[in-house]
A and B are shown apart, each in its own frame.
Chain A
Amino acid sequence: DAGVTQSPTHLIKTRGQQVTLRCSPKSGHDTVSWYQQALGQGPQFIFQYYEEEERQRGNFPDRFSGHQFPNYSSELNVNALLLGDSALYLCASSGRDSSRETQYFGPGTRLLVL
């Protein structure tokens, strides 16, 4: 049973560029959440997708956008990259039929903006 997968594992971009990160949820899960984790901090919620729609959004600017596909996989897009966007980006999946809705995380994508 494959867990949550993310690609790429590492990425280097320059300021002003755009980036797309990808996530495949754990088998049987239909909800994908994205988090940003700056160095030395806890993860911060970006947004959550369910039924191909953004259901909840954290305190992040519109430069951060996403998409969920019919197979439940998801993309996170960040436009006009800033140095402060350098972080570990974590994708988590969960199933809404579970009373706990435990979120299971992927290995993350480390983004460095120069």
Chain B
Amino acid sequence: AQKITQTQPGMFVQEKEAVTLDCTYDTSDQSYGLFWYKQPSSGEMIFLIYQGSYDEQNATEGRYSLNFQKARKSANLVISASQLGDSAMYFCAMRRPISSGSARQLTFGSGTQLTVLP
């Protein structure tokens, strides 16, 4: 079974500063996908960034980057130059390998509430 652990229920960061949100995972699969989503208070889950387990480089998408350490089974999200609009709940999620056939669902962590201070 897959498990995602997010140990930071809440985080605060000053506007324009960088922040790291932690995510560790547990899986016996060699191939898997890792995702980060942002959920504002409105409820919609917004896709931010993807990292494949065999990707050699850490994923980056604009101000978002993923610090992927496969041996430690961690996939931390780094947000650079925080903005007030970044205040939201952030979820780390995992998907089993495509080759596993039917198991395409996402397994989510419990989330981290990020608050950006002016």
- In the complex, which range does the number of interface residues on chain B fall in? 20 to 34
With an 8 A cutoff between CB atoms, is B106 at the interface?
yes
If A33-B105, A56-B104 touch, whether A102 touches B50 (CB-CB below 8 Å) is yes
If A55-B102, A102-B50 touch, whether A107 touches B107 (CB-CB below 8 Å) is no
If A100-B52, A107-B43 touch, whether A45 touches B105 (CB-CB below 8 Å) is yes
Return chain A residues, CB-CB under 8 Å to B104: 31, 33, 48, 55-56, 94, 101
The 0/1 profile, CB within 8 Å of B marked 1, for residues 98-114 of chain A is: 01111111111010000
Please provide the chain B residues from 70 to 97 with a CB less than 8 Å away from any CB of chain A in the complex.
91, 93, 95
If A101-B95, A101-B98 touch, whether A43 touches B106 (CB-CB below 8 Å) is yes
With an 8 A cutoff between CB atoms, is A61 at the interface?
no
CB distance from B70 to the nearest CB of A (A): 17
State A36–B98 Cα separation when bound (angstroms).
23
With an 8 A cutoff between CB atoms, is A16 at the interface?
no
Return chain B residues, CB-CB under 8 Å to A33: 104-106
With an 8 A cutoff between CB atoms, is A70 at the interface?
no
Could you say which of A56, A99, A103, A104 contacts B102, with CB atoms under 8 Å apart?
A: A56
B95 pairs with A105, CB closer than 8 A: no
The 0/1 profile, CB within 8 Å of B marked 1, for residues 41-58 of chain A is: 111110010000001101
3 smallest CB-CB distances across A and B, nearest first, come from: A42-B108, A105-B45, A45-B105
